[in-house]
């Protein structure tokens, strides 16, 4: 990729988007911001637009878009303001865009990510739900559209870095027998299971190592994020579910590992800072400075590993079962999880109720084959409706 690289950032006001802009700001000779997209955080969007002067910003909530437009006009900015999900898709399809950071959280990120893939862009995938929901469709579009899909999740990016030279996600890597995802264990790794029904959203969002948004922080606390990552890994690295392992690593220094047929195991290590995978993916196959401090292994002193506690964290088992079932089952799992997590954050469901709701939705909604995108969307919609009916006061909010 020669010249200045134009980047579109979907989810620019979230933690991944902010970190992406931080890396870009360190390399003004290499990157410029073409467009920024978010849902409703218009004040932060205005700050970003004034700092980076993108051609366009998109907010999917109309009132937020109107407020951003008024603020930018008052500041004398020439940045255009667009509104709606189709505007996100148009922004990433634009001929001037080279790279798309897909960092919109949850199912909302599926359509704009798919639009970027179909346009043949280099897509930096921070939205794991797009692959969880529609993995086969997404990877088919990557191959047919000539896109390059580079993972941003620290675990999948670590695996990508440990793969053979010239490897691209979606291919089967010769000589690779297994990939091993590391998990921090979240804030409740050693909490008495009897206390888990009573933990608060504030406690669940207090991750011991990573600074993340509230939804993904809760997913880390339940370990559902690791279950979703197992499904994502099967599509990214063309592996069956049984060849994707999980190991709990509290220090969050080893980000994941790849096992080879000769007995070698390669690992990628680094500080728990998302700017490392972002910089790696932006510059691939080159390397650029990310702003992350070098790793001091002597100061860390020890690296611990343990098996995940499936009794404490049943989400992993539910995700693995959905991966094995295939079809629409992963989309059902993801939709039920999004609804249940939001209910927990809103105080309508207790912490252990999250996985209880997901389990019940999976039992009530039989999976089916995915022949087209509508199959995924219909399964997602139905699962959300079922999940909402299960979230009643009797389930218990945090008390």
The Cα–Cα gap between 221 and 201 comes to 10
pLDDT beyond 80 at 211: no
Residue 394: its pLDDT value, please?
42
Residue 397: its pLDDT value, please?
52
- For the residues 203-213, what does the mean pLDDT come to? 82
Name residues whose C-beta falls within 8 Å of residue 266's C-beta, 6 or more positions apart in sequence. 162, 257, 258, 260
pLDDT beyond 80 at 210: no
b/e burial code for range 145-183 (CB count within 10 A of at least 16 → b) = eebbbbbbbbbbbbbbbbbeeebebbeebeebeebbbbb
What mean pLDDT value characterizes the chain? Answer: 94
pLDDT beyond 50 at 79: yes
The Cα–Cα gap between 54 and 52 comes to 6
Q: What is the pTM of this model?
A: 0.92
Residue 372: its pLDDT value, please?
93
pLDDT beyond 50 at 137: yes
b/e burial code for range 15-41 (CB count within 10 A of at least 16 → b) = bbbbbbbebbeebeebbbbbbbbbbbb
Rounded to whole angstroms, what are the CA distances from 215 to 130, 311, 361? 16, 22, 19
Residue 132: its pLDDT value, please?
93
* Residues 308 and 223: beta-carbon distance below 8 Å: yes
> Quick one: tokens of 116?
């970027």
- For the residues 25-52, what does the mean pLDDT come to? 97
> Quick one: tokens of 179?
């990939």
- For the residues 34-41, what does the mean pLDDT come to? 96
Interval 310-337: pLDDT, tens: 989 999 999 999 999 999 999 999 999 9
* Residues 154 and 274: beta-carbon distance below 8 Å: yes
| Strand partners for 376 | none
Residue 341: its pLDDT value, please?
97
CA 135 to chain centre: 14
Torsion, Cα of 100, 102, 108, 114 (10° steps): 60
pLDDT beyond 70 at 224: yes
Residue 379: its pLDDT value, please?
96
Residue 183: its pLDDT value, please?
95
> Quick one: tokens of 205?
């969002």
pLDDT beyond 70 at 30: yes
CA 66 to chain centre: 28
Interval 283-308: pLDDT, tens: 999 999 999 999 999 999 999 999 99
pLDDT beyond 90 at 32: yes
pLDDT beyond 70 at 105: yes
Rounded to 5°, angle at Cα 87 from 99 and 111: 70
**Domains of the chain (ranges, CATH numbers):** 5-152 (3.40.50.720)
- For the residues 212-216, what does the mean pLDDT come to? 85
Interval 233-277: pLDDT, tens: 999 999 999 999 999 999 999 999 999 999 999 999 999 999 999
Interval 139-150: pLDDT, tens: 999 999 899 999
pLDDT beyond 70 at 1: no
The Cα–Cα gap between 142 and 182 comes to 26
pLDDT category, 398, cuts 50, 70, 90?
Answer: very low
Residue 399: its pLDDT value, please?
35
């Amino acid at each position: 990729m020669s010249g200045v690289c134009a980047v579109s950032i979907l989810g620019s006001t979230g933690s991944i988007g902010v970190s992406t802009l931080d890396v870009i700001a360190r390399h003004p000779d290499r990157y410029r911001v073409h467009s920024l997209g978010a849902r409703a955080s218009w004040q932060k969007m205005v700050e970003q637009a004034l700092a980076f002067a993108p051609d366009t910003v998109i907010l999917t909530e109309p009132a937020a878009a109107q407020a951003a437009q008024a603020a930018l006009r008052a500041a004398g900015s020439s940045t255009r303001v667009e509104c709606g999900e189709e505007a996100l898709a148009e922004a990433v399809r634009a001929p001037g865009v080279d790279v798309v950071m897909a960092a919109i959280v949850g199912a909302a990120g599926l359509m704009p990510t798919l639009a970027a893939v179909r346009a043949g862009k280099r897509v930096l995938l921070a939205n794991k739900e797009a692959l969880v929901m529609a993995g086969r469709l997404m990877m088919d579009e990557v191959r047919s559209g000539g896109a390059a899909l580079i993972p941003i999740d620290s675990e999948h990016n670590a695996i990508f870095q440990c793969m053979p030279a010239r490897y691209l996600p979606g291919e089967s890597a010769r000589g690779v027998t297994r990939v091993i995802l590391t998990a921090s264990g979240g804030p409740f790794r050693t909490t008495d299971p009897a206390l888990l029904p009573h933990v608060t959203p504030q406690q669940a969002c207090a991750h011991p190592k990573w600074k993340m948004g509230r939804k993904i922080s809760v997913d880390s606390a339940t370990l559902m994020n690791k279950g979703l990552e197992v499904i994502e890994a099967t599509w990214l690295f063309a592996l069956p579910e049984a060849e994707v392992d999980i190991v709990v690593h509290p220090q969050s220094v080893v980000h994941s590992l790849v096992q080879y047929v000769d007995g070698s195991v390669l690992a990628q290590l680094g500080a728990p800072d998302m700017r490392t995978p972002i910089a790696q993916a932006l510059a691939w196959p080159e390397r650029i400075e990310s702003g992350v401090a070098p790793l001091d292994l002597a100061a860390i002193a020890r690296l611990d590993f343990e098996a995940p506690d499936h009794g404490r964290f049943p989400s992993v088992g539910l995700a693995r079962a959905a991966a094995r079932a295939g079809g629409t089952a992963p989309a059902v799992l993801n939709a039920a999880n999004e609804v249940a997590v939001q209910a927990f954050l809103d105080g309508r469901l207790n912490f252990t109720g999250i996985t209880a709701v997901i389990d019940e939705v999976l039992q009530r909604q039989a999976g089916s084959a995915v022949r087209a995108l509508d199959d995924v969307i219909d399964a997602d919609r139905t699962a959300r409706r079922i999940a909402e009916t299960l979230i009643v006061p009797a389930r218990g909010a945090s008390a």
